[in-house]
Amino acid sequence: MLKKTVNIPVSLYESYRGKYFVGQTELLCFGDGRYAWGGLFNPCDSRVKLFVNVITVTNISDNNFLAELWFNPKLPGMGTISNIVTPANLTMYPKSTPQVKIKFSDNVLDVPCCGVNAFDRLIPAQTTLVEEEDGKFIIPPGSNFAVFLTGGESGVLQARIAFGWWEERC
């Protein structure tokens, strides 16, 4: 006798559990020697592991720019916490609240220090890059994962950075 088995992506499973979140930065301005960044910040007291699932960078400009993906950098600027964040499962009541925060800053003058610039992506003009990582980037409490945007001297650039992630208790 055959038994029915259903396989679902881990992101769907985590969403069903109320542990999957999506969100984005505000519109970021940079270029002409200035930079911007957005990232997922796992607070020291969160007691969760952060699993980065998807990263998107939307270039709203007419010029290309570079997106550098960093693990645990010290980033320039103060950083603002984004309020454009929601659980992916809207059927739960009360709705889930993430421990991890999206922070961002634009028009900064300095570059990241410390951390690891793991890889870079060229973002063509008027496009969105979607980088699916399937949760393989695991960020502990007190650490972060960030996307740093640089456009050199190519004029004023605008972009948004978005993330999808889930959280699991340590």
Displacement of CA 118 from its chain's centroid (Å)? 14
Q: Does residue 6 carry a pLDDT above 90?
A: no
Query: What local confidence, expressed as pLDDT, does residue 152 receive?
Result: 74
Give the CA count within 13 Å in the CB-facing half-sphere of 119. Answer: 6
Q: Does residue 45 carry a pLDDT above 80?
A: yes
Residue 62 exposed, middle or buried by CB count within 10 Å (0-12, 13-18, 19+): exposed
- Per-residue pLDDT band at 154 (split at 50, 70, 90): confident
**Residue showing tokens 């050199």:** 152
Can you tell me the distance from the alpha carbon of 103 to that of 84, in angstroms, rounded to the nearest whole number? 10
The answer to whether the pTM exceeds 0.75 is: yes
Residue 99 exposed, middle or buried by CB count within 10 Å (0-12, 13-18, 19+): middle
User: What would the pLDDT profile of 78-116 be if each residue is shown by its tens digit?
Assistant: 999 999 999 999 999 999 999 999 999 999 999 999 999
Can you tell me the distance from the alpha carbon of 117 to that of 148, in angstroms, rounded to the nearest whole number? 9
